[in-house]
Amino acid sequence: MADTGLTVVLAEDAVLLRAGLAELLGHFGHRVVAAVSDARALIDAVEEHRPDVVVTDVRMPPGYSDEGLRATMTLLNRHPGLNVLVLSQYVATAYALELLDSERHEASGGLGYLLKDRVGAVADFVDAVERIAAGDTVIDPEVVRHLLRRERAAEPLQRLTAREREVLALMAEGRTNAAIASELFVSEAAVAKNIGSIFTKLRLCAPQGNRRVLAVLAYLRGGAA
């Protein structure tokens, strides 16, 4: 909760959820400057308000397909530094990966893909929004679990210890060393050691901060390692 008072553009077609999300963000001192219910309105609202962060549903009118995601792509093309959290009802690794693809371009902002289920754990959810606003990448643990199962990753991942795999998963979700340490009840030093070992075993160079998450995700999905 480093900086409070973020400006947020919210796109969600279900009235109940839209109101709930606005209330929730308001409770933490953030301001929803526009709450819209379809993709076109989302693009217009972003152009108008230039918010700190965009929170959008994948599936919206008129087609109820992936309009939210496509609008996000359009926006990211126009404003590479935009911070966006995409909410989805589906684990849909494909959507998450498309979102990350846009992240490969330079000068990108924070990016997140979370299941809608996560809004119930209110504090964690708002924390994720804040981290994305600060430029971090946040990927749903369920999506990371799927990525870890991909055939591309199967062989090298077997070289990792069980603990190293846990650390890798949390890294891929976008957690910091401190967060990983508290999640696994170990010291930060131990986490740092694990991470070093992971990068060596996977033959990855070890960038810092957000780049690290992207490197791990790129590796898992079989892209540039």
Partner 1 sequence: MAAASPTNPWQAMATRPWRFLASGWPWRSLAYLAAGVLVVVPPLALLRAAAVAGGGGAYVAGAAAVLVFCLVAAVPLAALERRRLKLVDRAALLLPPRHPSAPKGLRRLRARLAEPATWREFGYAVLFVTVLAPGSAVIVLFAFGLLLAPVGPVLVLALDTGDLLGEGGPDGGALGVVLAVCCWLVLLPLTAYLVAGFAAAQAALARLLLAPAAATLATRMREVTRSRARLVDAFEIERSRIERDLHDGAQQRLVALTMTLGLAELKLAGAEGDVPSLVTRARTEAEAVLGELRELIRGIHPRVLTDRGIEAAVLELTDRCPIPVRVGIRLPQRPAHAVEAVTYFAVSEALANVVKHSGASRAEVTGHQAGTGLVVTITDDGKGGAAPETGTGLQGLADRVAAVCGTLSLSSPPGGPTVLRLELPWRTPD
- Which parts of this chain interact with partner 1 (CB under 8 A)? 14, 16-17, 20-21, 23-24, 27, 59, 64-66, 89-95, 115-117, 119-123, 125, 146-147, 149-151, 154
Nearest distance from residue 15's CB to partner 1, in Å? 9
CB 115 within 8 A of CB 88: yes
Nearest distance from residue 187's CB to partner 1, in Å? 28
Comparing CA positions, the residue from 44, 35, 36 lying closest to residue 61 is 36
Q: First-to-last CA distance in the chain? A: 33
Nearer to partner 1, 94 or 178 (CB): 94
Nearest distance from residue 56's CB to partner 1, in Å? 15
Nearest distance from residue 19's CB to partner 1, in Å? 9
Nearer to partner 1, 114 or 214 (CB): 114
Nearest distance from residue 183's CB to partner 1, in Å? 18
Taking the C-alpha atoms of residue 149 and residue 66, their distance in angstroms, rounded to an integer, is: 25
Nearer to partner 1, 65 or 77 (CB): 65
Nearer to partner 1, 88 or 194 (CB): 88
Q: Which residue type is seen at 66?
A: D
Q: For the chain, where are the alpha helices, taking DSSP H only?
A: 15-27, 39-49, 67-78, 93-103, 122-133, 141-149, 151-157, 162-173, 177-184, 188-201, 209-220
CB 82 within 8 A of CB 48: no
Nearest distance from residue 12's CB to partner 1, in Å? 9
Nearer to partner 1, 122 or 189 (CB): 122
Sequence-separated (6 or more) residues with CB below 8 Å from residue 112: 84, 85, 86, 128, 129, 131, 132, 136, 137, 138, 139, 174
